[in-house]
Amino acid sequence: MSEPEDDLIRRQLESLSHDQLVARLLSLAQRDDALRLALVAETEAAGGELDLRALRKDLTAQLRVTDRTYDRRYARRYAGEVEEALDVLAALLDAGHADAVVDLAEHCMKRLDTALRHLDDSGGYVGVAVDRLMELHHAACAGAAPDPAELARRLADWALASDSDWEWFLDAPTRYADVLGDDGLDAFRGRVGPEWHKLPAVPPSREPFRVGWDRRRFAVAHLREEIARAGGSVDELVSVLAHDQSSPHRFERIADVLDDAGRDREALAWLERGNAVHGPAGHPVLRARIVAAYLRDGQVEDAVALAERGHTHAPSTTTYLELRTAAEALGDWPDRRPAALARLRGADRFGGRSSAVRAQLVEGDLDGAWADAHEAGCDDATWLELADASREHRPVDREGFRRSP
């Protein structure tokens, strides 16, 4: 509804008497179950007679889906129904019924787990409502101030048992840190610890996907990581992350944590450890970070040597430019460039010299780029990039460029 329409309705409502407004609202509530549910709940709450059992039953009816699969269009409508149910919880929270909202929010989570089996929420509509539900639950816990240890164990049980895409409470140690405190965090650690110790450590591997997806392992590991983050210990967090070294990304994450803590030398050591698994050339992402760290720390010769190995074993535009950056810091790029460019000219699997042309375009060497393009060709995208770069300086070549042979 647009703002002009809102203003129009507001003026009309302001012109009605109290009795007329009450009559109009009652009439609407008779035709709108969600509005009726909200009004009844707010009325009972205001009178101190909130019937939680009846309200849970009403919420179940509001959030029910029949036993068949729905498409994304229905998921969008269903998300609206969820939002209406959450409006009830929000009103109760505003009225000071935090304890009741904790109970009702968890009831809604169970209903949404059931609904998800029949919904296609690939559009993310219900997911938005789920985020709001989590915010309401956290706010209710903050208002109700439950026993921290008891709350921690309940949230941990939820997170470990949930098998839905909503991943209930996997971020609870950090999200609920203000409610849990030290006692709650200790209880969380105590509940997740035995499950964590059951997980075998995963060593480094060149085949990062050999481990396969394990929902239970993911949940336990994520919770243990969140506990370490909430506790504020960098060493504990590194230890948790290092339990799984199955992919280069795991080493990156450890390095990020150490870099953020100002422990850059330790971060570099972890990057080197992960890079060593992938042979002389290393892993592209880890190698690039190591080269940058070497240059930062003044280890210029080490940076050049590593970049040289990367370009020798797997030449590409990226490795060429990586070597160029390192060699320029050493001051010998003009001497190294011809050999580096020669390796790049033979790098394209499908013929042509696309990689060499792109590298020279980055360097601003249009003459060299055109020479390679004319001699051996390149892919269409690179031809167009070359022509565009030549708009001002080589208009004749730009107008008459040819495609790959």
Given 95, 117, 145, which residue is the final one in a domain?
145
Record the pTM: 0.81
Burial class (CB in 10 A: 0-12, 13-18, 19+), 120: middle
pLDDT at 32 over 70: no
Identify whether 181 is part of a domain. Answer: no
Confidence at 397, pLDDT banded by 50, 70, 90: low
**Whole-angstrom distance, CA of residue 300 vs CA of residue 296:** 9
Say what the pLDDT of residue 398 is. 47
Q: Who contacts 8 (Cβ-Cβ below 8 Å, separation ≥6)?
A: none
Identify whether 211 is part of a domain. Answer: no
Q: What are phi and psi of 118, to 5 degrees?
A: -115, 5
From 11-15, 22-26, 50-54, 101-105, the region with the lowest mean pLDDT: 22-26
Q: Where are the beta strands (DSSP E) in 92-226?
A: none
Say what the pLDDT of residue 254 is. 98
**Whole-angstrom distance, CA of residue 291 vs CA of residue 211:** 29
Alpha-carbon dihedral angle through residues 312, 314, 317, 319, given to the nearest 10 degrees: -60
Say what the pLDDT of residue 11 is. 81
Structural contact between residues 149 and 166, judged by C-beta atoms closer than 8 angstroms:
no
In DSSP terms, 301 is beta-bridged to none
**Whole-angstrom distance, CA of residue 329 vs CA of residue 308:** 14
Q: Rounded to 5 degrees, what angle do the CA atoms 32, 80, 155 make?
A: 115
Q: Which domain holds residue 96?
A: 51-145
**Whole-angstrom distance, CA of residue 211 vs CA of residue 244:** 10
Structural contact between residues 52 and 98, judged by C-beta atoms closer than 8 angstroms:
no
Q: Who contacts 27 (Cβ-Cβ below 8 Å, separation ≥6)?
A: none
| Rounded average pLDDT over 144-168 | 92
Confidence at 405, pLDDT banded by 50, 70, 90: very low
Identify whether 78 is part of a domain. Answer: yes
Structural contact between residues 179 and 148, judged by C-beta atoms closer than 8 angstroms:
yes
Say what the pLDDT of residue 35 is. 63
In DSSP terms, 326 is beta-bridged to none
Q: Who contacts 163 (Cβ-Cβ below 8 Å, separation ≥6)?
A: 215
| Rounded average pLDDT over 178-183 | 97
Given 124, 145, 166, which residue is the final one in a domain?
145
DSSP run (H or E) holding 391: none
Say what the pLDDT of residue 394 is. 57
pLDDT at 386 over 60: yes
Identify whether 62 is part of a domain. Answer: yes
**Closest Cα partner for 117 from 66, 169, 80, 151?**
66
Say what the pLDDT of residue 305 is. 97
What's the pLDDT tens digit per position in 70-92? Answer: 777 888 989 999 999 999 999 89
| Rounded average pLDDT over 58-78 | 84
Structural domain count, the chain: 2
What's the pLDDT tens digit per position in 328-337? Answer: 999 999 999 9
Q: At what angle do helices 234-241 and 248-260 cross, to 10 degrees?
A: 180
From 110-119, 149-158, 190-199, the region with the lowest mean pLDDT: 110-119
pLDDT at 58 over 50: yes
Confidence at 7, pLDDT banded by 50, 70, 90: confident
**Whole-angstrom distance, CA of residue 384 vs CA of residue 379:** 9
From 55-69, 198-212, 391-405, the region with the lowest mean pLDDT: 391-405
| Rounded average pLDDT over 194-223 | 84
Alpha-carbon dihedral angle through residues 226, 228, 233, 234, given to the nearest 10 degrees: -70
Identify whether 360 is part of a domain. Answer: yes
> How many other β-carbons are positioned within 10 Å of the β-carbon of residue 105?
22
What's the pLDDT tens digit per position in 305-329? Answer: 999 999 999 999 999 999 999 999 9
pLDDT at 362 over 80: yes
Q: What are phi and psi of 202, to 5 degrees?
A: -110, 120
Structural contact between residues 84 and 38, judged by C-beta atoms closer than 8 angstroms:
yes
pLDDT at 173 over 70: yes
Identify whether 267 is part of a domain. Answer: no
Identify whether 166 is part of a domain. Answer: no
Structural contact between residues 344 and 359, judged by C-beta atoms closer than 8 angstroms:
yes
Q: Which two tokens stand for residue 313?
A: 């074993």
**Whole-angstrom distance, CA of residue 24 vs CA of residue 118:** 36
Identify whether 212 is part of a domain. Answer: no
Given 100, 129, 145, which residue is the final one in a domain?
145
| Rounded average pLDDT over 108-136 | 92
| Mean pLDDT of the residues in the chain | 88
